[in-house]
Structure 1
């Protein structure tokens, strides 16, 4: 199968690392693992930091010009995909290219990781919200990345087109690291957090984490921080220097060993869509202490592979951490269950199977759409 791929939120070769970019690359890798041919149709980025009718109208015109360019290239080369797939669509990153090309070439059109915030129907993002809704209505298959998003999408996406495609990762390096190096938990617990140090939700997560650990000064713990960014000094200043080790931003291949050297992964997950780091930690046999945010409970099983608390609740996060610090055996049980959980539900092969089912749904619904149109 030939798949044309685009990511209007962030192209796969964007220079800034992120979970979004990583997930996009994993989707391509999963498709290719099944023998499909994936072509990056466009690197066009529709995402904008600020919204207004004039800004997004200009983006739409640029996107449609890009669709014209791609269309001409396809016609000249004779290329025709079997499926057009858009990764990550919402009001700040609408997709005009996929629907335009799907209509011109009579293609099945699918979206992975779509979300919808009805409060954006009015105000600065109304233009982008309406454009994203049009793409959702045109799509033959739409996959939310977690159940909370699926509930919002159900208002505009027909049931036959909507599904939840749980996130996944290339788990092998993390599973290998936990097999070879994972120690039993012991006091003081070795805690780990991985996150970019930037303004907004990431900084707020660090602030909540620091406040929770501040309530546990009398208990033994040590925290390793992996990440960097413009708010580095402010973030590091939140924690007692004698209780942290900062490793900076590490290359992806260096992360599995670091996860496996720690007892527990902790991250408050403020406004986190799902958190690829939670999949990485669990694959390395590390249990999770986190905020119960959006898609986090879809990938972390509360009480089995981790312990979740209400988003932003400092005292509840501290209570879960306190229990873990007092019960190292519990930490080991969480880590073992976490590894099995990933192995059975969130590997690359599991993700590939879910993507294959999505493609089949798109093709089936596209055929039905064509038959209805021709009737």
Structure 2
């Protein structure tokens, strides 16, 4: 199988949820029985609405498609891809490669996490919107990872649509039925950072970039300013060029900024925390919510974007309206006030991820939809 991600290659050097999802899909496809080859690292994304740059990217993509197809044709038949799989195409990152290559080779074409915003049909990314629509219309399978995404693409895709639940592919703690040793993780982090272990530790993990991420940080700060009850500290993992804005939003609050953490340190942070808090405004769904719950952290989030697909109300999660900092603070206060209930909610969250969002389930969905195409 040839695999391609026009938004960001799975081996891109900058960590992100998008990169992690791409890697997870490759792992799930391997688990489903495919040999997966990263076909190209060409990034088709254009975020400014610049028609000249979009035209250049289109020309480059089509040129690459022609040469990539020719290189596959020169291979022995047994070494050519039998299926093309594109992850995350939309108006800002259309797939200029997959349709052309799959047509030249005469192989099926599948896409995952395509999105469709009708307001872009006549906007500055209208060409990308049309290209993404054409890809979905001709794809043999289209995998939607959220209910919102499925509703958006259904008019173009019809019965070729397959629901694929978001999943974790590479979290060793999530695969351990006993979970992390929370007391040991907490003691180690308190010693390393000089934290007070008697305070409640709120945890959030996010990139600090302009737009929806900064808006979520600002919403979180507004909510926490109204939080009373047991003493608490917020531990923030993440960094980015908008960090000054984020730090300004939390001025005067008990916040510890940890910077960007590698995966082992991030796992220790989840294991040591008491509650994961992140509004997640307009998130596609948010891998961090699955990561936190897999480590036994209950979650308070906003019912925005696709968050409800990974944070299930009453199963270790609390969802509140996105425009109510008071409701967010009230949900956090409730969780912090009852240690036994919070621990039970963490166990529920962990069980929910294990039951609905694991690698094996994703591989079964992908395999059952794709193998009949071959």
Change (3 A) 1:48 1:242: closer
What TM-score, normalized by structure 1, do the two folds share? 0.91
Deviations 1:268-288 (A, max 9, x none): 001110000001001001110
Query: Retained in 1: the 8 A contact 2:223–2:325?
Result: yes
Q: Which one of 299, 316, 338 corresponds to residue 327 of structure 2?
A: 316
Q: 1:367 aligns to what?
A: none
Give the length in aligned residue pairs: 360
The whole-number CA distance in structure 2 between the counterparts of 1:11 and 1:58 is 19
Residues 133 and 156 in structure 1, CA contact (< 8 A), matched pair in contact too: yes
Tell which deviates more after alignment, 236-245 or 37-46: 236-245
Q: Which moved more, 1:55-64 or 1:100-109?
A: 55-64
Q: Is the 8 A contact 1:194 1:226 kept in 2?
A: yes
8 Å CA contact 1:11–1:21 kept in 2: the answer is: yes
Decide whether the 8 Å contact of 1:211 with 1:314 is kept in 2: yes
Shift of 1:178: 6.5
State the distance in 2 between where 1:178 and 1:249 align. 27
Once the two structures are superposed, residues 38-92 of structure 1 have per-residue CA deviations (whole angstroms, 9 ceiling, x without a partner) of 1111111111112254432322211110011111111222342121000001100
1:81 corresponds in structure 2 to: 81
| Residue number in structure 2 paired with 1:369 | none
1:105 aligned onto 2:105: yes
- The alpha-carbon deviation at position 310 of structure 1 amounts to 1.6
State the match for 1:279 in structure 2. 290
Instruction: Tell whether the 8 Å contact from 2:51 to 2:124 is kept in structure 1 after alignment.
Output: yes
Please give the secondary structure, in 2, of the residue aligned with 1:123: coil
Shift of 1:219: 4.4
- Residue in structure 2 matching 1:64, options 40, 62, 65: 62
Q: What root-mean-square deviation, in Å, do the aligned CA atoms of Structure 1 and Structure 2 show?
A: 2.1
Question: Matched residue of 1:246: which SS?
Answer: strand
Deviation at 1:156, TM superposition (A): 0.9
Q: Does 1:191 align with 2:189?
A: no
The equivalent of 2:25 in structure 1 is 27
Unaligned runs of 5+ in 2: 187-196
Alignment-derived partner of residue 264 in structure 2: 253
Structure 1 regions of 5+ residues with no counterpart?
A: 365-375
Aligned to 1:167: 166
Distance 1:178 1:124 in 2: 51
Closer/same/farther in 2, CA of residues 360 and 194 from structure 1, 3 Å limit: same
1:16 aligns with 2:27: no
| Correspondence for 1:371 | none
Structure 1 residue 216: Cα displacement: 1.1
- Say whether the 8 Å CA contact 2:180–2:295 is kept in structure 1: no
Q: Offset at 1:311? A: 2.1
- Distance in 1 between the 2:52 and 2:136 partners? 22
Specify the alignment match of 1:200 in structure 2.
Answer: 211
1:178–1:274 Cα change, 3 Å:
farther
- Aligned 8 A contact 1:7 1:24 in 2: yes
CA apart distance, 1:240: 5.0
The answer (yes or no) to whether the contact 2:3–2:36 under 8 Å persists in 1 is yes
- Secondary structure at the aligned position of 2:127 is classed as helix
User: CA, structure 1 residues 164+345, in 2 after alignment: closer, same or farther (shift >3 Å)?
Assistant: same
1:6 to 4, 7, 10: 4
- The one of 279, 291, 313 equivalent to 2:302 is 291
Q: Is the 8 A contact 1:174 1:257 kept in 2?
A: no
- 1:183 CA drift (Å): 4.5
2:274 is equivalent to residue 236 of structure 1: no
Contact 1:182/1:285 (<8 A) preserved: no
> Does residue 222 in structure 1 map to residue 221 in structure 2?
no
Q: Is the 8 A contact 2:109 2:141 kept in 1?
A: yes
Q: TM-score, normalised on structure 2? A: 0.91
Alpha-carbon separation, structure 1, partners of 2:87 and 2:251: 40
Q: Given that residues 220 and 325 in structure 1 are in contact (C-alpha distance below 8 angstroms), is that contact kept between their aligned partners in structure 2?
A: no
CA contact (8 A) 1:177 1:260 kept: no
